[in-house]
Amino acid sequence: MGLSRLAALHGVATSYSPSPDVTVSVPDDTVIAVLAALGVDAGTPADVRKCLAAAESRSRLLPPTVVVWAGEPLPPALAGLPPGSTVTVEPEPSDLPGHPAGRPPAPLSMRARAAAPAEPVASGEPAPAPEAAPAPGAAPAWWIPPPHGVHRIHVRTPDNRRATATLVAAPPRLPQPPEGTHGFLVQLYSLLSARSWGMGDLGDLADLAAWAGRSVGSGFVQVNPLHAAVPGKPTDPSPYRPSSRRFPDPVHLHVESIPEYGHVRDRAALDDLRQDAAALSEAVLNKGALIDRDAVWELKRQALELVAQVPLTPGRRADYCDFLAEQGQALEDHALWCALAEVHGPDWHTWPQALRDPRSPGTARARSELLDRVDFHCRLAWLTAGQLAAAQRAAEDAGMGVGIVHDLAVGVHPAGADTWSQQEAFAHGMSVGAPPDAFNARGQDWGLPPWRPDVLAATGYAAYRGLLRGLLAHAGALRIDHVMGLFRLWWVPEGRPPTDGTYVAYDAEAMLAVLVLEAHRAGTSVVGEDLGTVAPGVREALARRGVLGTSVLWFERDWEGGGRPLAPEEWRRDCLATATTHDLPSTAARLTGDHVTLRHRLGLLTRSLEEELTADLTDTAEWLALLARLRMLPEGDGDEEAAVRAVHRFLRRTPARMTGVWLPDTVGDRRPQNLPGTWDQYPNWRLPIADPEGHPVTLEEITASPRLHGLMEVLRPRKPHTAPPGERRP
């Protein structure tokens, strides 16, 4: 009992329910290990009693972070303050428009009171009238709502108890995208143009957005995470296991678009690099080679070294200095990690002891010794941010109502820049994953160390806020991978199987409030990837705050009423509706059963090939029958292209706010970009977009494809849309 109570006080689950009628107990060893990662020693019964007594004896006047939503009741922490308590809010200067730079806004002071009048806050003010009961959904009359932002709140009770906390004041909902907008989903590295250096880049992204907005009326382009990768040979190709989520990877730069590129003196060296880059692209597009991120980066790094030798113009220098000031310590730490990784390797755990602490004297000396390399990596971050901004401008100039939808991975690599620079924020010795379920009896271990919820709260979610602010700076919207992680994550102790993990809770109210606040500041929408096991109430909480869900056609069935495919009018409105994702088969592969034979060749099936094909054919036939009944498949059976069009015609009929088209679907690609459950058996994250025969196609060929234009014809706007107040333009 004691261990269970202690675990509950720290948000650590001692049991979980993989299905409504099943409860699984978590091993005590797992609970003890997870508590240890949270700084709680529960190794012996005596330790448990000691920690439990200490935890239960603590009485906090305020939690470390308090959330208030505009126009909604105050949280119990504030509403329940003793009458007569003095409450002072120090607003965040940047959140108060109109205040001169450098002049802090005046604190907001108020006095908590009951129904009877209390003393005025300051001498000379009239005594307040007796307080009437607040209207439903309103804050009490004594409360002065602060502006949206992250503030400091100070409380002093009549008996002189004091408390200070972070106050997150958030608008009630996120900005919403225009209704009925459609767009493309693409893994950027897979989108090579005739000018690419062996993989798709930000120039290609801007070009795709400009074409899609103008030529086929698209409202957005969603890309994979562009986070900085951990360098190495080979580099981990997965965009979902980055070194840093805060800063983008300069491998995505389109080198020729950098203004200084045209002023490089050593033109011969640049020409040689461009020829080598052309050979890389030729190998991928015409010789069956896989995308080689390491080879691409080696060429770009050499070119960028030459570009960095060109002095910046006064205006460019001023812009760079502003960027450095704006990014501050976070960028300096990231750039220093990159510089140290060049010298000592990409795993900071193996560096000399003095360099493993980013604040040690030894690291400070290294910072001075590597100043030129630190500046080089800072400049790369600046250049990449500039091209991200250019891609979003290209989308907006093309009339897109949303623009570029960026992707936030669920975590970071344990050896990367974020875990080095923010060591106290991560639960070391733990990995994020997923519990066993009907699709994977062994569970999953993703190899990503989780954030500590206690440290996030104690620091006012500073790391989380900085991460979101950086990602949203040049985004039209943000997709959050495994959005359920805002509520809880499955922690797996190092060295144990995923079945021996447990859930750890996060303060979802605070996580959502920070998300809504930062997205509101940026004017961006948010899409949550809420596929798989979702705890009760999570989708409702997300929808209340305006976070769109993700609905994939093949999973949209009436699971509680027989499992029939859902008719289009039964789909939810607040979602991004798609036929597939990067982790699933393409639509052509699904319709033909190619994905089953691929998994059979790789030894991934749990049943015989015949059984799997029969089940898959039955599933597909049910959907095709529904499409036929709805008269969405006039061509009849046996026409693959027509069936792909019918699937998207169906998606367009749903009330979903956004409809996403997997770009490889537009040319009949049958190969998944990622095949879960494989590592070196399949070339995950390294395939270019290809035609039905597997021959790679360029951006230019994709945009000229008759198959694409036939598909996009079914996605023409339903009708003109007038955006209500607060919505984005269509």
Q: Could you report the per-residue pLDDT of 158-170, keeping only the tens digit for each?
A: 999 999 999 999 9
At 129 the pLDDT is 38
At 439 the pLDDT is 63
Q: What is the largest CA-CA distance in the chain?
A: 86
At 717 the pLDDT is 65
Report how many helices (DSSP H) and strands (DSSP E) the chain contains, helices first: 21, 21
Asked whether the predicted pLDDT for residue 134 surpasses 70, the reply is no
Query: Tens of pLDDT along 278-325?
Result: 999 999 999 999 999 999 999 999 999 999 999 999 999 999 999 999
Radius of gyration in angstroms for the set of CA atoms belonging to the chain, rounded to a whole number: 27
Name residues whose C-beta falls within 8 Å of residue 205's C-beta, 6 or more positions apart in sequence: 188, 191, 221, 223, 391, 404
At 255 the pLDDT is 98
Q: How confident is the model at residue 20 (pLDDT cuts 50, 70, 90)?
A: confident
At 198 the pLDDT is 97
8 Å CB contact between 526 and 519: yes
Query: Tens of pLDDT along 204-236?
Result: 999 999 999 999 999 999 999 999 999 988 888
Distances (CA, A) of 74 to 70, 129, 172, 461, 693: 9, 21, 13, 20, 60
Asked whether the predicted pLDDT for residue 469 surpasses 80, the reply is yes
At 131 the pLDDT is 44
Name residues whose C-beta falls within 8 Å of residue 643's C-beta, 6 or more positions apart in sequence: 591, 624, 627, 633
Asked whether the predicted pLDDT for residue 101 surpasses 60, the reply is no
Query: Of 326, 136, 288, which Cα lies nearest the Cα of 671?
Result: 288
Asked whether the predicted pLDDT for residue 581 surpasses 60, the reply is yes
Give the Cα separation of 671 and 654 in Å (integer): 27
At 441 the pLDDT is 73
Query: Tens of pLDDT along 613-636?
Result: 999 999 999 999 999 999 999 988
At 125 the pLDDT is 38
Stretch among 317-331, 356-370, 399-413, 598-612 having the lowest mean pLDDT: 598-612
The letter for the amino acid at 637 is D
Summary mean pLDDT of the chain: 92
Model pTM above 0.75:
yes
8 Å CB contact between 427 and 489: no
Span 385-390, average pLDDT:
98
Asked whether the predicted pLDDT for residue 501 surpasses 80, the reply is yes
Span 249-278, average pLDDT:
97
At 352 the pLDDT is 97
The letter for the amino acid at 214 is R
430-434: list long-range contacts, CB under 8 Å, 24+ apart: 430/33, 430/34, 430/37, 430/491, 430/492, 430/493, 430/494, 431/491, 431/492, 431/494, 432/485, 432/489, 432/490, 432/491, 432/492, 433/490, 433/491, 433/492, 433/498, 433/501, 434/490, 434/498, 434/532, 434/533
* Angle at the Cα of 406 from the Cα atoms of 431 and 65, rounded to 5 degrees: 60
Give the Cα separation of 289 and 282 in Å (integer): 9
Tokens 């969603």, residue located = 222
Q: Is 341 helix (H, G, I), strand (E, B) or coil?
A: helix
569, two tokens: 């009018």
Give the Cα separation of 427 and 449 in Å (integer): 6
Among residues of the chain, what percentage have pLDDT more than 90? 84
Span 81-90, average pLDDT:
94
At 407 the pLDDT is 98
Asked whether the predicted pLDDT for residue 81 surpasses 80, the reply is yes
Asked whether the predicted pLDDT for residue 723 surpasses 50, the reply is no
Asked whether the predicted pLDDT for residue 573 surpasses 70, the reply is yes
408, two tokens: 């936030």
352, two tokens: 């000399």
Give the Cα separation of 665 and 690 in Å (integer): 10
Query: Tens of pLDDT along 512-542?
Result: 999 999 999 999 999 999 998 889 999 999 9
Asked whether the predicted pLDDT for residue 701 surpasses 70, the reply is yes
* φ/ψ bin of 593: left (φ > 0), alpha (ψ from -120 to 50), beta (otherwise): left
At 124 the pLDDT is 34
Asked whether the predicted pLDDT for residue 579 surpasses 80, the reply is yes
- 135-165 burial, b at 16+ Cβ within 10 Å, e below that, comes to eeeebbbbbeebebbbbebbbebeeeeebeb
The neighbouring-strand residues paired with 575 are 549
